[in-house]
Amino acid sequence: MPDQDSDVATTSTAGLSSVVIPLLKGVCYRDSDPALWQALLELQARVRDYVSVLGLTLVLDEAEGYAFLRARPEEDGADDEPKLPRLVARRPLSFPVSLLLALLRKKLAESDAGGADTRLILTREQITELMRVFLPAGSNDAKVVDQIETHVNRIVELGFLRRLKPGAGKQEGPAAFEVQRILKAFVDAQWLADFDTRLAAYRAQLDGSAEADAHD
In the predicted model, is pLDDT for residue 84 greater than 50? Answer: no
The whole-number pLDDT of residue 200 equals: 73
13 contacts: CB under 8 Å, gap ≥ 6: none
Distance between CA atoms of 49 and 57, rounded to whole angstroms? Answer: 9
Amino acid residing at 78: A
- The rounded percent of the chain whose pLDDT value lies above 90 is 24
CATH topology of domain 4-76: Arc Repressor Mutant, subunit A (1.10.10)
Distance between CA atoms of 176 and 156, rounded to whole angstroms? Answer: 12
**Residue 139's pLDDT band (boundaries 50, 70, 90)?**
low
**Residue 40's pLDDT band (boundaries 50, 70, 90)?**
very high
End-to-end CA distance of the chain: 84
Half-sphere exposure of 181 (CA within 13 A, CB side): 19
Pick the CATH number of 95-215 from 2.160.20, 1.10.286, 1.10.10, 3.30.70: 1.10.10
The whole-number pLDDT of residue 143 equals: 81
**Residue 9's pLDDT band (boundaries 50, 70, 90)?**
very low
Listed range (15-24, 51-60, 64-73, 202-211) with the worst mean pLDDT: 202-211
Mean pLDDT value across residues 9-37: 83
Distance between CA atoms of 161 and 179, rounded to whole angstroms? Answer: 5
In the predicted model, is pLDDT for residue 91 greater than 90? Answer: no
Domains 4-76 and 95-215 share a fold: yes
pLDDT tens profile 164-213: 987 655 545 578 999 998 888 887 766 667 766 767 776 677 666 655 55
Contact 180, 162 (CB under 8 A): yes
Listed range (47-61, 141-155, 179-193) with the worst mean pLDDT: 179-193
**Residue 42's pLDDT band (boundaries 50, 70, 90)?**
very high
Higher model confidence: residue 56 or residue 89?
56
Distance between CA atoms of 127 and 131, rounded to whole angstroms? Answer: 7
Q: How far is CA 107 from CA 11, 92, 163, 181, in A?
A: 45, 23, 17, 11
Domain ranges of the chain: 4-76, 95-215
